[in-house]
A = this chain, B = another copy of it.
């Protein structure tokens, strides 16, 4: 897998950092990295946005201002990770409260969520909690939240 573009090179460098550091996470300064590879700082954002997504198994956090940083964390896939992809695909643009409840219960039955976790999350997805303007938007938000949950559950935590 030869790297052709500078973005590929930066990607490799960062992944090497994670391996060498022998840690689950690594921290960089955007400006430093840009200087090292002689690119504009915003290209670092591009590399991260295209190569260190949650789908790729990375969590990225950052902070601006003095002492700012970008932190990249590697998270490990669960054994049956592909199941989550299927579940995510099965959720459309909208998700009713009832559908959400059923899905959560299914996750519990498969030992993916504890009963307490189901209760908590169900409370957060209830109409009273979301209380967005209209039902359409509410169901949209619920769908996004559920997708986000499934994407996270796909990895160990």
Contacts and interface: CB of A to CB of B under 8 A. Distances in A.
B144 A130 contact: yes
A130 B144 CA distance: 7
Interface residues of A, number: 40
A111 interface: no
Contact of A152 (B2, B120, B149): B120
Given A116-B157, A117-B117, A148 B124 contact: yes
Given A132-B132, A145-B130, A157 B120 contact: yes
Interface of A: 2-8, 27, 63, 65-69, 116-117, 119-121, 123-124, 126, 128-133, 137, 140-141, 144-145, 147-149, 151-153, 157
